Structure 1
Amino acid sequence: MSDPLVHPASRQIIVREDWLRQTQEPILEPALPIVDPHHHLWAKDHGDYLLPDLLEDTASGHDVRGTIFVQCGEMYRASGPDDEKSLGETEFVTGAAAMSASGRYGPTRACAGIIGMVDLTLGDRVAPLLEAHTAVAGGRFCGIRNRTAWHASPEVTSNLVTPPPGPLEHPAFADGAKRLAAFGLPLDVWAYHTQLPHVIALARAVPELTVVVDHVGGPLGIGPFAGKQAEVFSEWKRRMQELAALPNVVVKVGGLTMYVSGFDFHHRPKPPGSEELAKTWRPYVETCIEAFGPSRCMFESNFPVDKGMCSYPVLWNALKRLAAGAGADEKTALFSGTAMRVYKLDRLPASLAIDLSSP
């Protein structure tokens, strides 16, 4: 049965600002600096999320010093070689980043890092494309992500465009990943828990590449996995521990209120508060932090995708509750340090830098 609150094409939960406003909370640890390492910008049928929308969220109480944009297939060039069309997305986001860096829109440095799209199945041919994106981004290009999340069930999808089933298994993908590593750039991988063996194989095949596993490794809770949370959790945890044994793998901790997760907060009369979210997310978050350690974990918002179930201030409150027992250095890693190091934002020139010093 279709869910009336899920957009039929994007398979994303429809954002309802009036519904989100029903849950208001005081901001926890408002002086804790945050670098949000995973968000999107887009103009879509299911709702725009552009720079003003992002900055409205980042200015909602938490001390968000900077953000990283992650590819989502937006504003591709309308003409030219297919392999170069994704340069349009990098151009689009670079413009938003420049607007933010002017300081006219507040202190947050939005899109200080840009993760774009270069098809790694092109193998050796990725090098000139990486050079082009790097040039276009003006120093902000900090990684790439391909469309890789896939499952055979037509009920399981989270991409606007469904990729072919095997990009991670493509013979040339590892070759492209090696070229990416030579540029010193990490690879973000959005894969469901059923695909984690392929992620493990890739990380082993290219040990010089930093692999960033998005959204805690994608435990599924819809389609054939609906009602099987315990079974899925057991398999997911085992695979994540295997990934954690590989020193070149890092994990983004978040993305747990996407439609594919199987939670149904969006059907409640009111949105969840941070205490309930923290309780729900705790097994996944604690598993990741225990396996990888704070220095290989980074908290993320995944907005606006996760905005269908919770607001930006409530999401970060929940993550702060989950990190309440951590030491100061561990909190710094989780909320900003790991992202700054992995994406090399700590090496940005002064004109583009994220200021993490005390206010």
Structure 2
Amino acid sequence: MKVVDPHIHLWDLKTHHYLWLANPGVSFAGDARDLKHDYLIADLLKDAGDIELLKCVHVEANHDPADPVEETRWLQSVAQAPGSRSMPNAIVAGVDLSAKNAAQILEGHAAFANTRGVRQILNVHRDKLYDYVGRHFIREAAWRENFGLLRRHGMSFDMQLYPSQMDEAAALASEHHDTQFIVNHAGMFVDRDSVAGYRAWRDGMRTLAQCPNIAVKISGLAMFDHRWTVESLRPYVLETIDTFGVERAMFASNFPVDRQFGAYGDLWRAYASIVGAASDAEKDALFVRNAERLYRI
């Protein structure tokens, strides 16, 4: 089985600093203490096993906020190292677009050949268990002004948010129609204990999908479903594909975070089972071609 994985994380704890791994805790996404070890290309390839990993995209791993460009510098060196198979083939770098030096940080990331875009986590939730950032960046004037700089560098924006934020995100995407947006983790349907929660996710995703410059990664589902099965993933996978269309959806692993809840091969085979009745061209798009096109690899 051949895949391009558009959402992986790497870290080297011997040489780099990650606040969340320095003092790991337990959250809805699992026990970060289980992740407090180096995770490098060799580890990813070992986890891949019989899955033929053709290419991968590294998404920022909450590296030291004092020097986000250092993560990109390191990842570029990893991609150029012998035995790396040129992985990661693309880098989605970290930036705080509300920071005074955001323009400088973007220029620093843009200097590296494999940089394709940036991510800044936006998740805000009324329940502190799920709240990541505690502020609505999209509503801040300085953040929005700096967001406009992505176009100058030809950068995409990986967008991690909750359903309650999707209307505002769609408005932002419409304003920046020439910037590619990529929704992370199928929109992070978190409020699963009510019909209203499901409708908020479904309707929010449909609103996002109305913007032709928004695509989606089907990933991270295990963060909310620690005992997942093919059948428990099926409705979210199929609804996401139906909403965005085969041409704007792609599967991803979110490894090693989702490694806490299952093996790499089992996850990809689950995806393959869910879309087993799709055409060969549709499967090729979901597993390989869309990631290559959207991340230009």
**Which AA in structure 2 matches 1:89?**
E
For residue 155 of structure 1, what is the amino acid of its counterpart?
L
> How many Å separate the matches in 1 of 2:219 and 2:241?
12
The residue type paired with residue 298 of structure 1 is M
Task: Report the counterpart of residue 56 of structure 1 in structure 2.
Answer: 46
Contact 2:160 2:184 (C-alpha < 8 Å) held by counterparts: yes
Distance 2:274 2:289 in 1: 17
Tell me which of 243, 268, 288 is aligned to 2:240. 288
Instruction: For residue 69 of structure 1, give the secondary structure of its aligned residue in structure 2.
Output: strand
Alignment of 1:27-38 (within 5 A): 30=1, 33-38=2-7
2:71 corresponds to: 89
TM-score (norm 2): 0.86
User: Quick one: structure 1 residues 316 and 239, their matched pair in 2 at CA, closer, same or farther if it must change by over 3 Å?
Assistant: same
- Which of 280, 285, 294 pairs up with 1:328? 280
Aligned partner letter, 1:70: V
Deviations 1:307-326 (Å, cap 9, x if unpaired)? 11111000000111122122
Q: Is the 8 A contact 2:7 2:252 kept in 1?
A: yes
Contact 1:55–1:110 (Cα < 8 Å) also in 2: no
| Distance (whole Å) between structure 1 residues aligned to residue 269 and residue 93 of structure 2 | 29
2:174 — aligned with what? Answer: 204
Query: Conserved in 2, the CA contact under 8 Å of 1:196 and 1:239?
Result: yes
What residue in structure 2 maps to residue 153 of structure 1?
127
Segments ≥4 residues shifted beyond 6 Å = none
Letter of the structure 2 residue corresponding to residue 87 of structure 1: V
Match for residue 66 of structure 1 among 34, 40, 55? 55
Contact 1:181 1:210 in 2 (8 A): no
How far has the Cα of 1:331 moved from its partner? Answer: 1.2
Query: Which one-letter code corresponds to 1:238 in the other structure?
Result: D
**Structure 2 Cα separation of the partners of residues 322 and 232 of structure 1:** 23
Give secondary structure in 1 for the equivalent of 2:91: strand
List alignment gaps of at least 5 residues for structure 2. 14-20, 25-32
Structure 1 residue aligned with 2:107: 131
Q: Compute the RMSD of aligned alpha carbons.
A: 2.0
Give the greater-gyration-radius structure (CA). 1
Partner of 2:143: 173
* Alpha carbons 1:126, 1:179 under 8 Å: kept: no
Q: Which residue of 2 aligns with 1:227?
A: 193
Q: Secondary structure at the match of 2:88?
A: strand
Aligned to 1:18: none
- Indicate yes or no: 2:238 matched with 1:319: no
Could you tell me how far 1:52 is from its partner in structure 2?
A: 2.6
Do the aligned partners of residues 200 and 282 (structure 1) sit closer, same or farther apart at CA in structure 2, a change above 3 Å counting?
Answer: same
Q: Distance in 2 between matches of 1:186 and 1:226?
A: 30
1:122 shift after superposition: 4.5
d(CA) in 1 for partners of 2:198, 2:76: 38
How far is the alpha carbon of 1:169 from its aligned partner? 1.8
Structure 2 distance, partners of 1:234, 1:176, is: 32
Q: 2:205, 2:129 → 1: CA distance?
A: 24
On the 8 A contact 1:73/1:89 being kept in 2, the answer is no
Q: Which residue of 2 aligns with 1:17?
A: none
- 5+ residue gaps, structure 1: 1-29, 266-271, 346-359
Q: Secondary structure at the match of 1:339?
A: helix
1:238 and 2:215 are equivalent in the alignment: no
Q: Distance in 1 between matches of 2:192 and 2:177?
A: 35
Give 1:234's aligned amino acid.
Answer: R
| Offset of residue 306 of structure 1 | 1.1
| CA drift at 1:210 | 0.9
Given the two structures, how large is their TM-score scaled by the length of structure 1?
Answer: 0.72
Q: What are the superposed Cα offsets for residues 129-188 of structure 1, whole Å, 9 maximum, x if unpaired?
A: 3232122x3x1001100121121312214xxxx424111221222322221023221100
User: Are 1:208 and 1:248, in contact at CA under 8 Å, matched by a contact in 2?
Assistant: yes
User: Partners of 1:147 and 1:231 in 2: how far apart?
Assistant: 24
Structure 1 residues 264 and 114, CA, compared in 2 at 3 Å: closer, same or farther? closer
Answer whether contact 1:253 1:297 (CA < 8 A) is retained: yes
Q: What percentage of aligned pairs have identical amino acids?
A: 29
State the one-letter code of the partner of 1:56: K
The CA deviation at 1:243 is: 0.8
Could you give the per-residue CA deviations for residues 262-310 of structure 1, whole angstroms, max 9, x where no partner exists?
x241xxxxxx6xxxx2211111111111111111111010011111111
Q: CA deviation at 1:189?
A: 0.8
